[in-house]
Chains A and B, each alone.
Chain A
Amino acid sequence: GENVEQHPSTLSVQEGDSAVIKCTYSDSASNYFPWYKQELGKRPQLIIDIRSNVGEKKDQRIAVTLNKTAKHFSLHITETQPEDSAVYFCAASKVKGGKLIFGQGTELSVKP
């Protein structure tokens, strides 16, 4: 079955710096890769996703890149702000396949 590895487990940056979180997946049939943000004590919420027919997707300060050959994808946050502090999860599945598997999470801390 699918296995998703996420690194690093913790990341601390200064406000205004960039942050990069990386994930690898094992099932070459996976073609849907979302990222979720979970603030302390809250439910996870989708922040961006990418499908395998696209190599990169941007939404304001957030971007995701996908390398299907290497089976890895990354989340890039530019100009980080204290409110970006949270746990971020990557995930992988087949579109319409249903079985969405999450990585272990990255705790991002943005210091003012």
Chain B
Amino acid sequence: NAGVTQTPKFRILKIGQSMTLQCTQDMNHNYMYWYRQDPGMGLKLIYYSVGAGITDKGEVPNGYNVSRSTTEDFPLRLELAAPSQTSVYFCASSPSGGELFFGEGSRLTVL
């Protein structure tokens, strides 16, 4: 099993550009999450999903969108990138809301 795979690992964006962070898991987990982690800070929940077709906002959803058309994939869309979105983004999955299995993270810089 590959676990949770995130792409890209690194990306530099210009202000106003858009991009999608990809996340896929091969563990057949129902729950998936997107967190952001600013330098020296904690993990802030952006969006989460408890199953295909179901998504819900977390603590910091503004400026982001998600979709969950399959159990495996949970892409995170950034529209009109801003410097405040410079962060490390972690995708995670869980079988039923218990232990989270994190991806390696995607480091995004907006200049």
Which A residues form the contact surface with B (CB < 8 A)? Answer: 1, 6, 32, 34, 36, 43-46, 49, 89, 93-105
A-B contact count (CB 8 A): 59
Tell me whether A103 and B42 are in contact (CB under 8 A).
Answer: yes
A102 contact from B43, B97, B99, B103, Cβ within 8 A: B43
A40 to chain B, nearest CB (A): 11
Number of B interface residues at 8 Å Cβ cutoff, please give it: 24
**Cβ contacts under 8 Å, B43 to chain A:** 44, 89, 102
Task: List 9 additional A-B contacts (Cβ < 8 Å) besides A1-B59, A99-B58.
Answer: A44-B100, A46-B99, A46-B100, A89-B43, A94-B97, A98-B33, A98-B48, A100-B45, A101-B59
Report B's interface with A, CB cutoff 8 A.
31, 33, 35, 41-45, 48-50, 56, 58-59, 90, 96-100, 102-105
Tell me if B97 and A95 are in contact (CB < 8 A): yes
> How far is A105 from B37 in the complex, measured between Cα atoms in Å?
11
A101→B96 CA distance, assembly (Å): 16
A-B contact pairs, 16 of them (CB 8 A): A6-B42, A44-B43, A44-B90, A45-B102, A46-B99, A46-B100, A49-B98, A49-B99, A93-B97, A98-B56, A99-B58, A100-B97, A102-B43, A102-B44, A104-B41, A105-B41
Q: Is the CB of A100 within 8 A of B100?
A: yes
